[in-house]
A and B are shown apart, each in its own frame.
Chain A
Protein backbone atom coordinates (compact mmCIF):
# COMPACT_ATOMS: atom_id res chain seq x y z
CA UNK A 1 0.00 0.00 0.00
CA UNK A 2 1.17 3.51 -0.82
CA UNK A 3 2.23 5.40 2.28
CA UNK A 4 2.02 8.88 0.76
CA UNK A 5 -0.40 10.76 -1.41
CA UNK A 6 -1.01 14.22 -2.77
CA UNK A 7 -4.39 15.84 -3.28
CA UNK A 8 -5.07 19.06 -5.16
CA UNK A 9 -7.93 21.01 -3.69
CA UNK A 10 -9.11 24.61 -3.58
CA UNK A 11 -10.60 26.39 -0.58
CA UNK A 12 -11.83 29.96 -0.46
CA UNK A 13 -10.25 31.98 2.34
CA UNK A 14 -13.56 32.30 4.21
CA UNK A 15 -13.81 28.51 4.22
CA UNK A 16 -10.71 27.99 6.35
CA UNK A 17 -12.78 26.12 8.94
CA UNK A 18 -14.03 23.77 6.22
CA UNK A 19 -10.44 23.24 5.11
CA UNK A 20 -9.53 22.31 8.69
CA UNK A 21 -12.51 19.96 8.94
CA UNK A 22 -11.49 18.26 5.71
CA UNK A 23 -7.89 17.82 6.94
CA UNK A 24 -9.21 16.24 10.14
CA UNK A 25 -11.50 13.94 8.14
CA UNK A 26 -8.44 12.86 6.17
CA UNK A 27 -6.64 12.12 9.45
CA UNK A 28 -9.67 10.13 10.65
CA UNK A 29 -9.32 8.09 7.47
CA UNK A 30 -5.63 7.43 8.11
CA UNK A 31 -4.02 10.24 6.13
CA UNK A 32 -2.30 13.02 8.04
CA UNK A 33 -1.05 16.26 6.53
CA UNK A 34 2.69 16.28 6.01
CA UNK A 35 3.25 19.35 3.87
CA UNK A 36 1.29 21.97 1.92
CA UNK A 37 1.79 23.75 -1.37
CA UNK A 38 -0.28 25.97 -3.64
CA UNK A 39 -3.71 24.26 -3.60
CA UNK A 40 -1.80 21.06 -2.87
CA UNK A 41 -1.88 18.88 0.21
CA UNK A 42 0.64 16.13 0.89
CA UNK A 43 -0.41 13.34 3.21
CA UNK A 44 1.35 10.49 4.87
CA UNK A 45 -0.28 7.34 6.16
CA UNK A 46 -1.17 7.29 9.89
CA UNK A 47 -3.39 5.33 12.24
CA UNK A 48 -6.99 6.49 11.74
CA UNK A 49 -7.62 9.29 14.25
CA UNK A 50 -4.00 9.41 15.36
CA UNK A 51 -3.74 13.17 14.76
CA UNK A 52 -5.63 16.43 15.08
CA UNK A 53 -4.81 19.08 12.49
CA UNK A 54 -5.17 22.85 12.91
CA UNK A 55 -4.48 25.78 10.65
CA UNK A 56 -4.20 29.50 11.20
CA UNK A 57 -3.26 32.69 9.44
CA UNK A 58 0.00 33.70 11.08
CA UNK A 59 2.85 35.57 9.38
CA UNK A 60 6.20 33.82 9.31
CA UNK A 61 7.34 33.58 12.93
CA UNK A 62 10.07 31.17 14.05
CA UNK A 63 9.36 31.76 17.73
CA UNK A 64 5.69 30.79 17.24
CA UNK A 65 6.76 27.55 15.63
CA UNK A 66 9.10 26.83 18.56
CA UNK A 67 6.33 27.72 21.01
CA UNK A 68 3.91 25.31 19.34
CA UNK A 69 6.48 22.54 19.36
CA UNK A 70 7.04 23.15 23.06
CA UNK A 71 3.38 22.33 23.63
CA UNK A 72 3.64 19.02 21.80
CA UNK A 73 2.41 20.10 18.35
CA UNK A 74 4.26 19.36 15.13
CA UNK A 75 4.73 21.83 12.31
CA UNK A 76 3.12 20.48 9.13
CA UNK A 77 3.86 23.27 6.66
CA UNK A 78 3.13 26.78 5.53
CA UNK A 79 1.41 28.20 2.46
CA UNK A 80 1.64 31.97 2.07
CA UNK A 81 0.22 33.39 5.29
CA UNK A 82 -1.27 30.10 6.50
CA UNK A 83 0.49 27.78 8.87
CA UNK A 84 -0.50 24.15 9.59
CA UNK A 85 0.11 22.16 12.75
CA UNK A 86 -0.78 18.67 13.87
CA UNK A 87 -0.74 16.95 17.24
CA UNK A 88 -1.16 13.35 18.29
CA UNK A 89 -4.60 12.71 19.76
CA UNK A 90 -2.94 10.72 22.54
CA UNK A 91 -1.04 13.85 23.63
CA UNK A 92 -4.25 15.63 24.58
CA UNK A 93 -6.77 17.97 23.00
CA UNK A 94 -5.49 20.32 20.34
CA UNK A 95 -6.92 23.75 19.60
CA UNK A 96 -5.27 26.96 18.54
CA UNK A 97 -7.86 29.25 20.10
CA UNK A 98 -9.66 28.78 23.38
CA UNK A 99 -11.65 31.99 23.74
CA UNK A 100 -13.79 34.36 21.70
CA UNK A 101 -11.28 37.23 21.94
CA UNK A 102 -8.51 35.29 20.27
CA UNK A 103 -10.88 34.01 17.58
CA UNK A 104 -11.88 37.60 16.88
CA UNK A 105 -8.28 38.76 16.65
CA UNK A 106 -7.53 35.89 14.27
CA UNK A 107 -10.39 37.06 12.01
CA UNK A 108 -9.04 40.62 12.33
CA UNK A 109 -5.67 39.43 11.12
CA UNK A 110 -7.27 37.76 8.07
CA UNK A 111 -9.33 40.90 7.45
CA UNK A 112 -6.30 43.19 7.54
CA UNK A 113 -4.43 40.98 5.09
CA UNK A 114 -7.39 40.88 2.68
CA UNK A 115 -7.84 44.67 2.89
CA UNK A 116 -4.17 45.24 2.17
CA UNK A 117 -3.98 43.07 -0.96
CA UNK A 118 -7.51 44.08 -2.00
CA UNK A 119 -6.58 47.77 -1.74
CA UNK A 120 -3.37 47.23 -3.69
CA UNK A 121 -5.26 45.46 -6.49
CA UNK A 122 -7.83 48.24 -6.59
CA UNK A 123 -5.12 50.90 -7.03
CA UNK A 124 -3.22 48.89 -9.64
CA UNK A 125 -6.51 48.15 -11.42
CA UNK A 126 -7.45 51.82 -11.58
CA UNK A 127 -3.96 52.78 -12.75
CA UNK A 128 -3.98 50.07 -15.44
CA UNK A 129 -7.37 51.09 -16.75
CA UNK A 130 -5.61 54.13 -18.25
CA UNK A 131 -2.84 51.93 -19.55
CA UNK A 132 -2.83 50.95 -23.25
CA UNK A 133 -2.65 47.24 -22.29
CA UNK A 134 -6.16 47.56 -20.78
CA UNK A 135 -5.49 44.73 -18.36
CA UNK A 136 -6.70 46.72 -15.36
CA UNK A 137 -9.95 44.71 -15.28
CA UNK A 138 -8.03 41.69 -13.98
CA UNK A 139 -6.91 43.59 -10.90
CA UNK A 140 -10.38 45.05 -10.46
CA UNK A 141 -11.87 41.57 -10.59
CA UNK A 142 -9.36 40.31 -8.02
CA UNK A 143 -10.09 43.35 -5.83
CA UNK A 144 -13.84 42.63 -6.02
CA UNK A 145 -13.31 39.02 -5.01
CA UNK A 146 -11.06 40.05 -2.11
CA UNK A 147 -13.65 42.56 -0.92
CA UNK A 148 -16.27 39.83 -1.02
CA UNK A 149 -13.96 37.62 1.07
CA UNK A 150 -13.49 40.50 3.49
CA UNK A 151 -17.26 40.73 3.85
CA UNK A 152 -17.53 37.02 4.66
CA UNK A 153 -14.77 37.27 7.28
CA UNK A 154 -16.41 40.37 8.74
CA UNK A 155 -19.70 38.49 9.02
CA UNK A 156 -18.03 35.75 11.06
CA UNK A 157 -16.45 38.39 13.28
CA UNK A 158 -19.78 40.14 13.92
CA UNK A 159 -21.35 36.84 14.96
CA UNK A 160 -18.58 36.30 17.50
CA UNK A 161 -18.83 39.88 18.79
CA UNK A 162 -22.52 39.39 19.40
CA UNK A 163 -21.77 36.27 21.38
CA UNK A 164 -19.13 38.12 23.40
CA UNK A 165 -21.75 40.60 24.66
CA UNK A 166 -22.95 37.91 27.04
CA UNK A 167 -19.88 35.82 27.79
CA UNK A 168 -16.18 35.44 27.09
Chain B
Protein backbone atom coordinates (compact mmCIF):
# COMPACT_ATOMS: atom_id res chain seq x y z
CA UNK B 1 0.00 0.00 0.00
CA UNK B 2 1.44 3.34 -1.01
CA UNK B 3 1.58 6.10 1.57
CA UNK B 4 -1.39 8.41 1.51
CA UNK B 5 -0.37 12.02 1.96
CA UNK B 6 -0.70 15.07 -0.20
CA UNK B 7 1.92 15.52 -2.87
CA UNK B 8 3.04 19.03 -3.77
CA UNK B 9 1.94 20.31 -7.17
CA UNK B 10 5.53 20.06 -8.33
CA UNK B 11 5.83 16.41 -7.28
CA UNK B 12 2.46 15.57 -8.79
CA UNK B 13 3.29 17.01 -12.19
CA UNK B 14 6.77 15.49 -12.19
CA UNK B 15 5.34 12.02 -11.53
CA UNK B 16 2.67 12.57 -14.16
CA UNK B 17 5.30 13.59 -16.70
CA UNK B 18 7.40 10.53 -15.96
CA UNK B 19 4.77 7.92 -16.81
CA UNK B 20 6.83 8.02 -20.00
CA UNK B 21 10.60 8.58 -20.01
CA UNK B 22 11.50 12.29 -20.09
CA UNK B 23 14.46 14.53 -19.40
CA UNK B 24 14.37 17.55 -17.10
CA UNK B 25 13.48 20.14 -19.67
CA UNK B 26 10.76 17.86 -21.07
CA UNK B 27 9.18 17.68 -17.60
CA UNK B 28 9.17 21.48 -17.35
CA UNK B 29 7.53 21.83 -20.76
CA UNK B 30 4.87 19.18 -20.22
CA UNK B 31 3.97 20.57 -16.78
CA UNK B 32 3.48 24.03 -18.21
CA UNK B 33 1.44 22.65 -21.08
CA UNK B 34 -0.80 20.42 -18.92
CA UNK B 35 -1.54 23.20 -16.44
CA UNK B 36 -2.22 25.74 -19.17
CA UNK B 37 0.81 27.79 -18.12
CA UNK B 38 -0.25 27.98 -14.46
CA UNK B 39 2.45 25.71 -13.00
CA UNK B 40 6.02 26.49 -13.96
CA UNK B 41 8.70 24.29 -12.45
CA UNK B 42 11.88 26.23 -11.75
CA UNK B 43 15.06 24.35 -12.56
CA UNK B 44 16.43 24.28 -9.00
CA UNK B 45 13.14 23.04 -7.59
CA UNK B 46 12.92 20.36 -10.27
CA UNK B 47 16.50 19.21 -9.74
CA UNK B 48 15.97 18.87 -5.98
CA UNK B 49 12.68 17.01 -6.49
CA UNK B 50 14.21 14.58 -9.02
CA UNK B 51 16.97 13.71 -6.55
CA UNK B 52 14.50 13.30 -3.68
CA UNK B 53 12.16 11.12 -5.78
CA UNK B 54 15.08 8.95 -6.93
CA UNK B 55 16.17 8.44 -3.32
CA UNK B 56 12.60 7.50 -2.43
CA UNK B 57 12.56 4.95 -5.23
CA UNK B 58 9.58 6.52 -7.03
CA UNK B 59 11.57 7.30 -10.18
CA UNK B 60 14.75 5.97 -11.75
CA UNK B 61 17.30 7.55 -13.99
CA UNK B 62 17.58 5.63 -17.25
CA UNK B 63 21.06 4.40 -18.16
CA UNK B 64 22.82 6.56 -20.75
CA UNK B 65 25.42 5.22 -23.16
CA UNK B 66 26.77 8.64 -23.98
CA UNK B 67 27.58 10.85 -20.96
CA UNK B 68 27.00 14.04 -22.92
CA UNK B 69 23.37 13.17 -23.54
CA UNK B 70 20.51 14.50 -21.46
CA UNK B 71 19.57 12.32 -18.53
CA UNK B 72 16.15 10.73 -18.73
CA UNK B 73 13.97 9.55 -15.86
CA UNK B 74 10.87 7.42 -15.54
CA UNK B 75 8.42 6.20 -12.90
CA UNK B 76 8.99 2.99 -10.98
CA UNK B 77 6.16 0.67 -9.98
CA UNK B 78 6.20 2.32 -6.54
CA UNK B 79 5.99 5.77 -8.09
CA UNK B 80 3.08 4.72 -10.27
CA UNK B 81 1.21 3.45 -7.22
CA UNK B 82 1.82 6.71 -5.36
CA UNK B 83 0.53 8.62 -8.36
CA UNK B 84 -2.64 6.48 -8.53
CA UNK B 85 -3.29 7.07 -4.81
CA UNK B 86 -2.85 10.79 -5.30
CA UNK B 87 -5.28 10.91 -8.22
CA UNK B 88 -7.89 9.11 -6.04
CA UNK B 89 -7.26 11.55 -3.19
CA UNK B 90 -7.59 14.56 -5.47
CA UNK B 91 -10.83 13.16 -6.91
CA UNK B 92 -12.25 12.87 -3.40
CA UNK B 93 -11.29 16.50 -2.68
CA UNK B 94 -12.80 17.77 -5.91
CA UNK B 95 -15.98 15.65 -5.56
CA UNK B 96 -16.59 16.90 -2.03
CA UNK B 97 -15.98 20.46 -3.08
CA UNK B 98 -18.44 20.26 -5.94
CA UNK B 99 -21.09 18.43 -3.90
CA UNK B 100 -21.09 20.98 -1.11
CA UNK B 101 -20.92 24.00 -3.39
CA UNK B 102 -23.84 22.64 -5.47
CA UNK B 103 -26.06 22.54 -2.36
CA UNK B 104 -25.42 26.23 -1.71
The interface of chain A, by Cβ under 8 A from chain B, is 56, 58, 63-64, 67-68, 70-73, 93, 95-99, 101-102, 105-106, 168
A83 to chain B, nearest CB (A): 10
Summed over the interface, the residue pairs from A and B with CB atoms below 8 Å come to a total of 55
Q: Are A93 and B44 in contact (CB under 8 A)?
A: no
A104 to chain B, nearest CB (A): 11
On whether A106 and B44 interact (CB within 8 A), knowing A98-B10, A99-B9, A99-B10, the answer reads yes
Mostly, the B contact residues are helix
Residues on B with C-beta less than 8 A from A71 are 24-25, 28, 43
CA distance A64 to B43 in the complex (A): 9
Residue of A96, A99, A101, A106 touching B43 (CB-CB under 8 A): A96
B60 adjacent to chain A (CB < 8 Å): no
Contact string against A for B residues 72-99, beta-carbon threshold 8 Å, 1 for contact and 0 otherwise: 0000000000000000000000000000
Residues on B with C-beta less than 8 A from A58 are 44
Q: Are B10 and A67 in contact (CB under 8 A)?
A: no
CA distance A72 to B23 in the complex (A): 13
